[in-house]
Amino acid sequence: MLVWLVTLSLVCVRAMNVQPVANVPSGSLKGLKMLSTEGRIFSAFRGIPYAKPPVGPRRFQDPEAAGAWSGVLDASKEGASCLQFDSRLDSFRGQEDCLFLNVYTHDASAGAKKRPVMVWIHGGSWTSGSGNGENDIYGPHNLLDRDIVLVTINYRLSVLGFLSTEDAAAPGNYGLLDQVMAMKWVKENIEGFGGDRTSITIFGQSSGAVSVHGHILSPRSKGLFESAIAQSGSALCPWAILNYVGNYTKQLGVHMNCPTSSSVQLVQCLRTKNATDFIQFQKDLQVIDGSPTAFGPRIDVERREPFYPMRPEDIIRSGSFNHVPFVTGVTTNEAGFVVAKMTSKGTETIDAIKEDPAPAILYATGHEFNASKLQKARNVFDNYFPDRSNVNLNTLEAMISDGMFFQCAIDTVKLHTQHSKAPVFSYLYGHRGLLTYSMLFSSDLDVEYGVTHGDEIFLMFAIPFVPPLLVPGDIATAENLLDLWTSFSATGVPVKNNSNIEWLPAKAGEMRYMLIKDELAMVNGEYPFANRVSKWSDFF
């Protein structure tokens, strides 16, 4: 027995030391071996350029395909994150040359079994994050316990990704078009990594989920994927499409001493400026934490081939979108992390909201320049808090969740079930894990913020600073998530292994959803917050 174990260990060590090679239309690559959470050896090819560096004259331009490289590309290290301000580290990180992706696979050899492909689009309010796992939070080790090929991508953020003069000089949405370019690269090259190019699922969380939904709606993404998963975000959310990017672009021009009377001259001038100064400008704009986003997706009708040719709801009603199987849902207390941020600053933020809630509501929903919404914003607050002197944290979380996440979640399911030819699977994530996103902002463990925005990320990905899953409930919920997500990527139907529970799609006029916890439950009926969101009706 001992000899057998020693022999097995030596075989594993040798296998880990063999540098994997992949050959794709773009060229040859050398990666490295990794171990999945359950001990499966897999190959990682990281820092692969999918587009030309968006610098110099390519700044504020649509991405250009990287093309082939010469020689063998060293894909053993992660590429740089896109330039951003990291609030966790309170510093700038990344660089402008950042259009890289990572591929994780079980077998990149010629003739390998073709596995379903999952392409992850990270969140971060279009201002932060990356697809990396070693120097960010999207480690592949949990997902690579399963028979899939995982791709994670970077895309331009903030000013560099979304600046717009609202005309042909700079239509904006460059970060979204980066994602399209990455998806094209995957479609053309993934078979060289053992991936099935006819079975590609895009999935993402928060602004990554809005991006996923955007690709369902956009003609620019047609034919690049076969199914989609949007976690806690939709293109129908009030923070998903920005109305004032051009306004902030002019403010940036004035700040950078550039001419603003001509869009062409403004863009030419901004191409000569230090990119870090753009990120500093956006950071200095903040009125409340994270708002205004200022630079994000918009309806780019000035572009010859727009990403968003119409408002998202109009695209859905027209039926002119990509009809693919769609999983979409929310957590039970989405805005718990927002309230945690507020309380981390003492009573300052909540006292300001008590005094006048309108500014916070207008900035959070992207209506900061709409004076007609002032009184309606105050009315929303009064609907939840008839007595402003008594602001209960749980009710505050409910108010923000309703307006920012839950109303658009309901609308998304309703519209897609009415107009899509493909199934729509809705869910509610309700597992309160050992770790929760609110802990990143609040050290007060006596306050319970619920199951907040992003909590499922702790179970889906291997985060470098987070210990392995040890709590039985976390382990069971992670198994449920990985089973459902990876089976959906393979077949277009989410299935729990060794379970009789069937996830039925919602239908027009017939809402139902899967409650995802350590034990799954199919619920035939509306979301539990369905009646409460009407308190926002007049505002929207």
- Judged against a pLDDT cut of 80, whether residue 4 lies above it is answered with no
Residue 40: its pLDDT value, please?
Answer: 98
Q: Which segment of 206-220, 276-290, 438-452 scores lowest on mean pLDDT?
A: 438-452
**Does position 299 have pLDDT exceeding 60, yes or no?**
yes
What's the pLDDT at 2? 46
Could you read off the pLDDT of 355-389 as tens digits, one per residue? 999 999 999 999 999 999 999 999 999 999 998 88
Query: In this structure, are residues 452 and 333 in contact, taking their beta carbons and an 8 Å threshold?
Result: yes
Across 425-448, average pLDDT: 88
Cis peptide before 325 (omega within 30 of 0): no
> What value does the mean pLDDT take over residues 103-125?
95
pLDDT of residue 287: 79
Q: Is the peptide bond before 292 cis (omega within 30 degrees of 0)?
A: yes
CATH topology of 2-162+173-240+315-324 equal to that of 336-536? yes
> Structural domain boundaries of the chain?
2-162+173-240+315-324, 336-536
Write the pLDDT tens digit of every residue in 225-248. Answer: 999 999 999 999 999 999 999 999
Residues marked as catalytic = 206, 334, 453
Which pLDDT band holds residue 11 (cuts at 50, 70, 90)? very low
- According to CATH, the topology of domain 336-536 is Rossmann fold (3.40.50)
Question: According to the model, what pLDDT value does residue 89 have?
Answer: 74
Which one-letter amino acid corresponds to residue 487?
Answer: S
pLDDT of residue 185: 98
Task: State the Cα torsion 90-152-293-449 to the nearest 10°.
Answer: -70
The two counts, helices (H) then strands (E), for the chain are 16, 16
Question: For 462, phi and psi rounded to 5 degrees?
Answer: -90, 105
**Model confidence at 13: pLDDT above 70:** no
CATH 3.50.50.60 fits 2-162+173-240+315-324, yes or no: no
Give the mean pLDDT of 285-302: 90
Of the CA atoms within 13 Å of residue 45, those in its CB half-sphere come to 28
| Residue 3 confidence (pLDDT) | 41
Greatest Cα pair distance, the chain, in angstroms, is 80
